[in-house]
Amino acid sequence: MATMHDVARLARVSVSTVSYVLTGARPISQATRDKVLAAMTELGYQPNAMARGLASRRSRIVGLLMPMDERGLGATETAFVTGAAAAASVAGYHLVLSPVGDLDDLRRLASQRMLDGAVLMEVQVEDERVGALQEAGVPLVLIGRTGDTTGLSYVDIDFDQTVREAVAHLVSLGHDRIVYVNHSAAAIAAGYGPAVRTRDAFVAAMTGHGLEPVMITAEDSAAGGRAALTAALAQAPDLTAVLVMNENAIFGILGELTNRGLAVPRDVSVVSMVTSPQVAELATPALTAMTSPGSALGRIAVEALLRHVTGTGDDNHQQLLPCALEVRGSTCPAPATLAVSVSDGSDPTGSGPPGT
């Protein structure tokens, strides 16, 4: 079993330097800290978390605060958690996932001093949780961002670039009637950052191509997806492509397209935004997607948080990462024409559902 002396020898530092990296008792340069952490990883060194916590007067616990409802965690959300947990483990910290969303509960949690710091997810443009944690003196990093980010550390998806590239992909295939299915109207009204930013980015991207932006809101469920597709066809019966940022609704959208005799991608191309490869591969055909950098965002957020916790980084960390386009089977060149019966879902071409 590797010892602290083994770590010091491999990293070419003193044993006391290794101790300072572990306990945070003294500031250590980031370059030296990285060498020590790399040596720990290579040797599989597992320090005694309880002893370190007592020595440093820290709990060695950081919280990932993510409000959750009956949907639970999907594969895409889980990537954020696993990335954050891995970064915490490498640094000798434990990550606790907390679904606390109520402001009073959050204040109670902060007052108990159980957490050395917190990563906050599902951030709204105006988010009272940020002020509550700041008032309690809890070191904080956001995955997402508020409207005013002055004095805050955050990592987030670059929604402007992500939407721009998704629209450009469809336009390059000849699609000029594209509908965007967003999160719910309630999420937008509440100022949920991704829903608000992608709404604005979609308008800008479509306008930039000289096209009319059509957005439909959808509840986060398969039923919500079916209703959204129905509304989309009523508003834009000549649509040839659907851009979606709502994983819980997208399978309802795909199902409703099939019910109406519309094949993906022959009749309607579909792009899913902020999606994990695992979710994209569940569909038939597999979904062309703007793949979420969730694991990287979780890792970067925890690394930034621990710099605040240990005092090794005074500057605020602010970083955006775009999603990456991965083309699969749900997009193809736009059809020359598309006639849709909105009222009964019949197939006016007479070709029937795919495979008939």
CATH at residue 200: 3.40.50.2300
pLDDT, averaged in runs of 10, over the chain (356 residues) = 87 87 74 89 72 56 82 80 93 88 81 87 93 91 96 97 98 97 95 96 98 97 97 97 95 97 97 95 96 96 94 86 97 72 42 38
The pLDDT value recorded for residue 71 is 57
The pLDDT value recorded for residue 344 is 45
The pLDDT value recorded for residue 341 is 38
The pLDDT value recorded for residue 110 is 81
Whose structure tokens read 């060498």? 35
- Is residue 60 located within the same domain as residue 144? yes
The pLDDT value recorded for residue 72 is 62
Residue type, 97: L
The pLDDT value recorded for residue 101 is 66
In a domain, 302, yes or no: yes
The pLDDT value recorded for residue 100 is 76
How many structural domains compose the chain? 2
- Is residue 122 located within the same domain as residue 251? no
- Is residue 287 located within the same domain as residue 170? yes
The pLDDT value recorded for residue 356 is 32
- Is residue 148 located within the same domain as residue 13? yes
The pLDDT value recorded for residue 50 is 45
Q: Which domain holds residue 219?
A: 159-291
Q: How far does CA 216 lie from the centroid of its chain?
A: 21
